[in-house]
Amino acid sequence: MPHEGSIIAPQSTCSSCCGSDAKIPNPAAKSGVGRSFRVAGLDCAEEVAVLNKVLAKDLGGEDHLAFDVINARMTILDSAIPMQDDEVIRRVASTGLSAKQWDDQSAKADHSAHLKRQKQFTFLSAGFWAAGLIYHMIKTGLVGGLSIFSGHGNIPMPNIEISLFLLAILFGAWLVAPKAWSSARRLSPDMNLLMIVAVCGAVILGEFFEAATVAFLFALSLTLESWSVGRARNAVAALLDLAPATARVISKDGKTEQDIPAAQVAIGDIFIVRGGDRIPLDGTVQSGIGAVDQAPITGESAMVLKEAGDTVFAGTINGEGTLTIQASNIASDTVLAKITRMVGDAHSRRADIEQWVTKFARIYTPFVMGLAAFIAIVPPLVFGAAWTDWIYNALVLLVIACPCALVISTPVSIVAALAASARNGVLIKGGAYVEIPSRLTALAIDKTGTITEGTPEIASVQSFIEDDASLLQIAAALEIRSSHPLARAIVAYAGQTAPAEQTRTVPGRGVEGIVDGRNVWLGSERFAHEKGLEIPDALKRQFETAGSTLVAIGDDTNLLGLLELRDKIRPDARAMISKLHAQGVKKIVMLTGDNEPTARAVAQTVGIDEVHAGLLPQEKVAAIEELTETYDVVAMVGDGVNDAPAMARADIAIAMGAVGSDSAIETADIALMSDDIGKLPWLVNHSRHTMTIIRQNIGFALATKALFAGLTALGMASMWGAIAADVGVSLAVVANALRLLRER
């Protein structure tokens, strides 16, 4: 059965570098067409901030630059002060990134090449790191392997082991070093510089394994970031695949038909869509009658009758009959194409996800480097102390200040949280999405396939002449050979029976046939009216209030009875809503393309606060934007494609994984793979516990480092004490993070 659902588009995915305060501008909000460049390495908001610093001033300001992080695309608008392309490329290169003029044909290949390069360097770093560790364990045994930070005791580390770790450092830092150098030249320390400083400090002190571990982990985080952004990019592109590439167009004289690319169909052209085919373009029905599945666009849970004069949308499915349609929009201007563009715009204007470690690093890095220089220089100059002693103390400070524990604590916590989530049937697409549910204040949720199961069932049987069993047998006999969702529900409820004879489908009305020698029919209220039979007003109001679908059954002279079909509400939906309210979610809203009586009946049953029904995609976006103006963190849950723009506009998108569309699962930030909506409260609790663990780790690491920094300043700390403290803190935060694996 078609699902109303909604989903999802991914947000810009950042990992370790997304602590920048920069906001990613919305290209849709900027006027003018400009020159676009493909920027390799443009993965998150920090790169946006860097590019703004080196370009914006000479272009007239940041308003003349636009960025699409999902596609690694930078646009200089026509309103900017002129700058030659070669100069733009040179300035981008000075940041450690690389740029080339945008080419739609090569963009996908460029994305793949960049990710492949990152993977290669990360795999090489991992390989040499593992080789060095294995060699160490061979030389020292298992016990020595467990204490690798202490090296080989009084025996120098073998040159082979040093070489392996140095190679791991080289490949791990290769793609980061140019960015770190650019950061140093601009006197704007960032996480890249912090990592390089930490690695160099560890190498100077002979802690090659520690240096290699930091380099490898950082390279891995950047590779995972690029991979997740690539998944998002592919999912957005897949939206356009809903519309067929060709249309069967009737010639102007009406004598011939020809399949031509949909992009070449002009407004006013007439094309044909056969039963079961997707509609290639928006248009108006000229002739024919058929029920159309509009779920990809409007989210309606039932197929909609289309007759001459009715509007149809590209990407929707013609269920039966043949429709002759006049194109009303070109392929690039259909509702589906607009949805895809809205998804891209929503990605571009999303705020960056700030990570505590990276934000703190902007202060921590220059402070530590300055303090080390102070300790090395001031005591000898001012107090006449020995230079060697205080240079040694400065190096001790660099060891204890090495961000190994800080760098490791957050990713280990995130990985443990992701693993525990997957074990519990909740697929979280990256570390950026672990934090957001902990701050959830408002939830938007669609109806069909999410709050409901997306499959209709018989709620009641109203018999007027026949008994219930006989009425159901007539209905099943008429519908047993149909694949319509309502027909399947009737047959499932009534059980198997012999099919009716001489059945005939009346498009948009119902079905007729002969059962036990008499003519019978089944269909809509309109069908009953055309038969000269009226359904009692009281029953119609009752069904409407309950949000049910009415199916009438009759013969030549009588209305035999009515079947009430209703989309089944998930059994855990009410408990889920109640738990979310108890957890502090202030507002839960239903956004649906379905009719208002049905939506309100479902919302009232499960305890949803507010209902917005009969919405098109752009209206759902407006509803989400309204929520984001009032509430800090807004999530949306759904299971289809039609709400993709609204999902992209929300702070986090959650898909019903198993029944959701492929696009939903690919593009959602989080997917409930077991379709258990009751896991939403668990997700909120899990996110909050994860953030508590991360704060504990960061607090413990910083407190320990502050203590040793003080001891170092007083000349009371030793190199071995600093190394032991650093290793101890690293092990402690990792052990604390691994507690998340026990989450159930």
Span 424-460, pLDDT tens digits: 767 777 667 888 899 999 999 988 778 887 778 888 8
* Residue 207 per-residue DSSP state: -
Residues 648/6, Cβ–Cβ less than 8 Å: no
Neighbours of 676 (CB within 10 A): 18
pLDDT, residue 376, reads 81
Tokens 């690539």 found at: 230
Joined tokens for residue 593: 């393309």
Cα distance between residue 100 and residue 38, in whole Å: 5
Q: Which of 58, 80, 102 is the last residue of a domain?
A: 102
Strand, coil or helix: 228:
helix
Could you identify the residue written with the tokens 């898909």? Answer: 655
> Which pLDDT tens digit goes with each residue over 545-576?
776 778 999 998 899 999 988 888 888 889 99
Question: Is pLDDT above 50 for 16?
Answer: no
- 275 domain residue, yes or no: yes
The CATH number of whichever domain residue 254 belongs to comes to: 2.70.150.10
Q: How far is CA 453 from the centre of its chain?
A: 22
Q: pLDDT > 70: what percent of the chain?
A: 74
Residue 446 annotated as catalytic: yes
285 part of a folded domain: yes
Q: What is the pLDDT of residue 661?
A: 45
pLDDT interval class at 362 (50, 70, 90): low
Question: For 167-188, what is the mean pLDDT?
Answer: 83
Statement: the pTM of the whole predicted model exceeds 0.85: no
Residue-level pLDDT at 662: 44
- Rg (C-alpha) for the chain, rounded Å, is 32
Contact 673, 657 (CB under 8 A): yes
- Least confident residue range of 147-151, 392-396, 526-530, 569-573: 147-151
Domain-embedded: residue 272 = yes
- pLDDT for position 97: 83
On whether residue 564 sits in a domain, the answer given is no
Task: Kindly indicate the confidence band of residue 343, based on its pLDDT and cuts at 50, 70 and 90.
Answer: very low
Higher-confidence position of 307 and 365: 307
What pLDDT score was predicted for residue 492? 87
Dist CA 605 CA 149 (whole Å): 60
SS3 labels along 250-280: ECCCCCCEEEEEHHHCCCCCEEEECCCCECC
Between the CA atoms of 708, 712, 716 and 718, what dihedral angle is there, to the nearest 10 degrees?
A: 80
Query: Which of these is catalytic: 68, 269, 345, 446?
Result: 446
Region 174-195 average pLDDT: 74
Per-residue pLDDT tens over the stretch 27-69:
333 334 578 898 887 765 567 778 888 898 888 888 788 776 6
- Looking at residue 658, its pLDDT comes to 46
Distance CA 697, CA 703 (A): 10
State the average pLDDT over residues 583-600: 86
How many CB atoms within 10 Å of residue 495?
10
- Strand 501-506 versus strand 510-515 pairing type: antiparallel
| 274 close to 322: Cβ distance less than 8 angstroms | yes
Q: What is the mean pLDDT of residues 703-726?
A: 69
pLDDT at 2: 35
CATH number, domain with residue 58: 3.30.70.100
Q: Which residue type is seen at 372?
A: A
Asked which of 102, 122, 143 is the last residue of a domain, the reply is: 102
Number of domains in the chain: 2
pLDDT of residue 237: 56
Higher pLDDT, 740 or 404: 740
Q: What are phi and psi of 6, to 5 degrees?
A: -140, 130
Non-local CB neighbours of 173 within 8 Å, separated by 6+ positions: 195, 196, 199, 215, 218, 219
Residues in the chain: 744
Q: Which of 191-205, 371-385, 489-503, 716-730 has the lowest mean pLDDT?
A: 716-730
pLDDT of the residue at 649: 84
d(Cα 339, Cα 276) in Å, to the nearest integer?
23
Under the banding of pLDDT at 50, 70 and 90, the label for residue 349 is very low
Residue 231, pLDDT > 70, answer no
For range 112-122, the mean pLDDT: 86
Q: Is the pLDDT assigned to residue 10 strictly greater than 50?
A: no
Q: Which of 10-19, 149-158, 187-196 has the lowest mean pLDDT?
A: 10-19
> What pLDDT is recorded for position 616?
79
Exposure b/e, 9-25, CB count within 10 A at least 16 = b: bbbbbbbbbbbbebebb
Per DSSP, the chain holds a count of helices (H) and strands (E) of: 23, 26
Angle at 532 between CA 526 and CA 533, to 5 degrees: 75
CA-wise closest residue to 336 among 311, 316, 317? 316
pLDDT of residue 345: 46
pLDDT band at 113 (very low <50, low <70, confident <90, very high): confident
Tell which residue, 656, 638, 658, has the closest CA to residue 647. 638
Q: How far apart are CA 417 and CA 422, in angstroms?
A: 9
Range of the domain at 325: 244-333
Which residues sit opposite 639 in a β-bridge?
A: none
Give pLDDT, residue 602. Answer: 86
- Structure token pair of residue 621: 């976006």
pLDDT band for position 9 (cuts 50, 70, 90): very low
Gap between the Cα atoms of 305 and 289, Å rounded: 7
Of 57, 67, 708, nearest to 398 (Cα)? 708
Mean pLDDT taken over the chain: 77
Residue 182 CA to residue 263 CA, distance in Å, equals: 45
Determine the pLDDT at residue 401. Answer: 67
Q: Please identify, among 292, 310, 333, the residue that sits at the C-terminal boundary of a domain.
A: 333
Mean pLDDT confidence for 475-499? 85
CA distance 181 to 96: 8
Over 50: is that where the pLDDT of 26 sits? no
Kindly state the tokens that stand for 424.
């519990």
Task: Give a yes or no: residue 85 inside a domain.
Answer: yes
Written as one letter, the residue type at 263 is: A
Contact call for residues 690 and 435 (beta carbons, < 8 A): yes
Which of 26-35, 111-120, 176-185, 370-379 comes out lowest in average pLDDT? 26-35
The answer to whether position 78 is within a domain reads yes
Residue 30: is it exposed, middle or buried by C-beta count within 10 angstroms (0-12/13-18/19+)?
middle
Q: Is 70 exceeded by the pLDDT of residue 81? A: yes
Element (H, E) at 451: none
Q: How far is CA 354 from CA 359, 360, 415, in A?
A: 7, 10, 18
